[in-house]
């Protein structure tokens, strides 16, 4: 289990640490190329991608569009093509050889734009924007659908659910889900397929 440290207090760091689940201990690994906080991070094909964030501090620091990738096998960081939009507090999610950066904030406020990184081509492309400007975004993917839990401009708390279809490039507001507004959270996917099915006797 690995992850860049976001910040100490409110300041960006280069620090990158690994938690070994076998020994239940933390180990410092090679530092990121750029110090950052409030960035996005996602694992894809055994590599760890880090994109955007804020340089200096989360409140007044310069918002970044830079991206880098960590290879656990070689313990090295490599700089990637930068995002089209500088962003922090955005969602970052991996779907079929593409990494989607969703919403977040730039230096002026909330963003509704969405872009994806094509891993094979090492380039970013814009797709359909969110219906609203998401200042804080968390994402998780199930198949080709990205589920977005977001706090929108003017509504600071997370609590709005959206679905984005990466194949049709369409957004849908999920009216069947009610999310309790929270200020900070993590979102993940757990496969429970068949967990509650009853055994049929013949």
pLDDT tens for the 202 residues of the chain, in order = 555 544 344 567 788 888 889 999 999 999 999 999 999 999 999 999 999 999 977 777 899 999 999 999 999 999 999 999 999 999 999 999 999 999 999 999 999 999 999 999 999 999 999 988 888 888 999 999 999 987 766 665 666 788 999 999 999 987 655 556 666 666 777 776 665 555 444 4
Query: Considering its fold, how many domains does the chain have in total?
Result: 1
Place of tokens 């509704």: 112
* Residue 80 included in any domain: yes
Q: Could you tell me which of 48, 94, 46 has the C-alpha nearest to residue 67? A: 48
Task: Note whether 163 and 179 are within 8 A (CB).
Answer: no
pTM of the model: 0.83
The DSSP H or E segment spanning 91 is strand 91-95
* Residue 114 included in any domain: yes
Could you tell me which residues come within 8 angstroms of residue 41 by beta carbon, excluding any fewer than 6 positions away? 3, 4, 48, 49, 50, 51, 92
Token digits of residue 178? 């009610």
Q: What angle is formed at CA 183 by the lines to CA 57 and CA 154, rounded to 5 degrees?
A: 85
* Residue 200 included in any domain: no
* Residue 88 included in any domain: yes
Query: Would you give the distance in Å from CA 28 to the centre of its chain?
Result: 22
Place of tokens 């830079």: 66
The DSSP H or E segment spanning 3 is strand 2-4
| Cα distance between residue 149 and residue 167, in whole Å | 20
Q: Which domain holds residue 7?
A: 2-173
Place of tokens 């706090």: 151
| Number of Cβ within a 10 Å radius of residue 39 | 26
Q: What is the CA radius of gyration of the chain?
A: 18
The enclosing domain of 136 has a CATH number of 2.120.10.80
């Amino acid at each position: 289990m690995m992850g860049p440290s976001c910040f100490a207090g409110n300041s960006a760091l280069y620090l990158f640490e690994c938690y070994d689940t076998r020994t239940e201990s933390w180990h410092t690994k090679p530092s990121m190329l750029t110090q950052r906080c409030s960035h996005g991070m996602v694992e894809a094909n055994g590599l760890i991608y880090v994109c955007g964030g804020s340089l200096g501090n989360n409140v007044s620091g310069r918002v970044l569009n830079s991206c880098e990738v960590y290879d656990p096998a070689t313990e090295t960081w490599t700089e990637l093509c930068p995002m089209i939009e500088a962003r922090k507090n955005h969602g970052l999610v991996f779907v079929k050889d593409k990494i989607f950066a969703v919403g977040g904030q730039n230096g002026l406020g909330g963003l509704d734009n969405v872009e994806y990184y094509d891993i094979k081509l090492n380039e970013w492309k814009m797709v359909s924007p969110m219906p609203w400007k998401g200042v804080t975004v968390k994402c998780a993917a199930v198949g080709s659908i990205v589920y977005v839990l977001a706090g929108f401009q003017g509504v600071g708390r997370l609590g709005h659910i959206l679905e984005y279809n990466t194949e049709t490039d369409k957004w849908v507001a999920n009216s069947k889900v009610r999310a309790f507004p929270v200020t900070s959270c993590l979102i993940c996917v757990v496969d429970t397929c068949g967990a509650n099915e009853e055994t049929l006797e013949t």
